[in-house]
Amino acid sequence: MEENLNQQINKLEKKLHLTISTQKNKEQELKDKLESALNEINNGVRQKREMVDLELKYKMIISDKAKLEEQVANLISSKQLLQQTMAGQLMTIKAQLDEITEEKNVIMEEYRRVVSNNEELQVKYRNEQIKAKTLFDEIRVSKLKS
């Protein structure tokens, strides 16, 4: 009987070891599955964060694009306004230049008239000087004769 008991104990011990070993294997499998599931969750969380980051970057790019488009529109508007202002200023300057040119032409005509009158007066003055000298010479000659 003792032998039978020993055999039964041995059987039970083997069974217990086998059960413990099986239990440990199952626990390890569960741990591995849990670790795999956690890794998948972490990967999912990481991917979700990356997607959120990409969405934020996309929104920032869209916002920056809108701001740049607005700045470009403002620059175009400013450029057009500046061109209109410059065109107006150029027309004003051209009108002033035309007026100055006309005044210059009038002044030049007046100057030519004055120069012409001056030349005529110089000719008359020389003629009068010649007449006066001739008269003076005639008077002197007539005094010498008398």
The CA distances from residue 131 to 34, 85, 122, 142, in Å, are 140, 68, 14, 16
pLDDT confidence bin for 26, thresholds 50/70/90: very high
- Is 72 within a domain? yes
d(CA 126, CA 134): 12
pLDDT value of residue 64: 96
- Is 2 within a domain? yes
- Is 129 within a domain? no
pLDDT confidence bin for 10, thresholds 50/70/90: confident
Structural domain span for residue 1: 1-104
Q: How many domains does the chain contain in total?
A: 1
Reduced to 3 states (helix: H, G, I; strand: E, B; else coil), residue 17 is helix
- Is 139 within a domain? no
- Is 51 within a domain? yes
d(CA 25, CA 35): 15
- Is 114 within a domain? no
d(CA 107, CA 100): 10
- C-alpha dihedral sign at 106, 111, 113, 114: positive
pLDDT in tens, 94-103: 999 999 999 9
- Is 13 within a domain? yes
pLDDT in tens, 116-143: 999 999 999 999 999 999 998 888 888 8
d(CA 143, CA 130): 20
- Is 142 within a domain? no
Cα diameter, the chain: 207
